[in-house]
Amino acid sequence: MQEKQQFEQELGKLLRPEQIRREEPLSRHTTFRVGGAAEYLVTPELGQIPQVVALCKRYDLPLTVIGNGSNMLIADTGLRGVVMEIGRAAAGITVTDETDLLVQAGTLLSEAANTAAKHGLAGMEFAAGIPGSMGGAVVMNAGAYGGEMKDILTEVRVLTLDGEILVRPAQELDLSYRHSRMMDEGELVLEVRVHLEMDDEAAIRARMEELKKKRVEKQPLEYPSAGSTFKRPEGYFAGKLIEDAGLRGFRVGDAQVSEKHCGFVINRGSATAADIMELMHQVQLRVREHSGVDLEPEVRLLGF
C-alpha cells in the first residue's frame, strides 16, 4: 500500500491533477464504447511520456498504451496498473520542407489529413476517415482504400523498452499488412515524419469527399465499432467469408455482425466486451467450418 502511495506522489509531481484519473471507465475512451475501468488513466504531453514509462517501470506497474481507442476491445474487468492515453495532450503538426509533415503521436489522422490538404499536400486522403491517432496508425500500419501508412512514412521517433529515444528511418520499421517492428518490440511512437506531394487543395478535398461517400455508403458508421474486426486473410475478404457463412446480422446480446458490412462487429447500444468477444469467437468457428479459413482478429484484445 505504501508503495502505491509513493507511486501516486511521484506521478503527481510529473503530471497535473487533470492528467490523472483513477478507476476511469475505459468505455469512454474506446470507439466500441465498452470496457471496464483503468486503475490509473494518464494523459501525458509528448515530453512527459518517457518519464511516465520510467516511473511505471520503477514501480513494476503494468503499462498499457492506447491512442484514440479505435482498434481495440478492452475486457469488462478493465485494466490494472496504468493506462497511458496518447491523445490530445500529445498532439501537434508542423509543416517542414514544403512537402513534409512532422506529426506528434497523439494527433488524429483526420486532423493530419486536413492539415495536409490545407497546405496543398496530397497522399493522406486515404487516412482522413480512419478514426485513429498517428502513433497507433503507424504501429499497425493502418490503411484504407488502397493507401497505407508505409506509403507516406519517412521516419519515426520512438521510445525503446530501454528508455532510449531513437529516430528510425521507415525502411527499418518492417512495415507490412497491419504490422510493424514497434508492434513486435514494444516500442512507443512519439513523432512521425511523412512525405507528401504538392497538389491543388480543391483536387485533394474532392478525393477526400469521394472516399467519405464510399465510407458512409458501405460502413456502419452510425454504431460504435472498432472498424474492421478481422484481418484480411490472404486471397480472401473477411467480410465476404463471414457473409458466406450466413452470419450477416448474427447477434450475441447487443453485439452484432453488421448487416451493412459483415467485416464490422457493432455495438447496438448495450453490448459488453464479453458479448463482442463471444461473437468474434462464434464467427471464427463458423467461418472455419464453412470455408476452412482461420480469421485472425485485427482489433487488439486487452485484459482478457
Written as nine digits, the cell of 24 is: 476511469
Backbone phi, then psi, for 132, in 5-degree steps?
A: -125, 180
- For residue 123, give the nearest of 132, 115, 113 by alpha carbon: 113
Beta carbons within 8 Å of 236's beta carbon, 6+ residues apart: 291, 293
Single out the catalytic residue among 21, 178, 193, 232.
178
- Confirm if 159 and 243 have CB atoms less than 8 A apart: no
Beta carbons within 8 Å of 199's beta carbon, 6+ residues apart: 120, 121, 122
Single out the catalytic residue among 85, 125, 191, 298.
298
Q: For the purposes of burial, counting CB atoms within 10 Å of the CB of 270, is it exposed (0-12), middle (13-18) or buried (19 or more)?
A: exposed
Single out the catalytic residue among 157, 228, 232, 258.
228
Backbone phi, then psi, for 40, in 5-degree steps?
A: -135, 130
Written as nine digits, the cell of 110 is: 483526420
Helix (H, G, I), strand (E, B) or coil at 34: coil
Catalytic (active site) residue 298: yes
| Strand residues in the chain grouped as ranges (E) | 20-25, 37-42, 63-66, 72-74, 79-85, 93-96, 100-104, 121-122, 143-144, 147-148, 153-159, 165-169, 188-195, 197-198, 225-228, 251-252, 255-257, 264-267, 300-302
DSSP state of 46: G
Catalytic (active site) residue 225: no
Backbone phi, then psi, for 225, in 5-degree steps?
A: -155, 180
Return the residue matching grid coordinates 503494468.
Answer: 62
Beta carbons within 8 Å of 25's beta carbon, 6+ residues apart: 35, 36, 37
Q: Which residues are catalytic?
A: 178, 228, 298
